[in-house]
Structure 1
Amino acid sequence: MNNIIVIQPLIALIAGILILIAPRLLNYVVAIYLIIIGITGLMPQLMS
Structure 2
Amino acid sequence: MYINLHNMQAIIALACGVLILIMPKLLNYIVALYLIILGVMGIVRF
TM, length-normalised to structure 2: 0.70
**CA RMSD after TM alignment:** 2.2
Q: Give runs of ≥4 in structure 1 deviating > 6 Å.
A: none
**Identical pairs, percent:** 52
1:1-48 CA deviation, whole Å, 9 max, x = no partner? Answer: x61111001000001111000001110011112223332xx27x34xx
Higher relative contact order (CA 8 A, sep 6+): 1
Counting helix residues as a fraction of each chain, which structure ranks higher? 1
Find out whether 1:16 has 2:17 as its counterpart.
Answer: yes
- Whole-angstrom distance in 2 between the partners of 1:6 and 1:36: 15
List gaps (5 residues or longer) in structure 2.
none
Aligned pairs, number: 43
Match of 2:28 in 1: 27
List gaps (5 residues or longer) in structure 1.
none
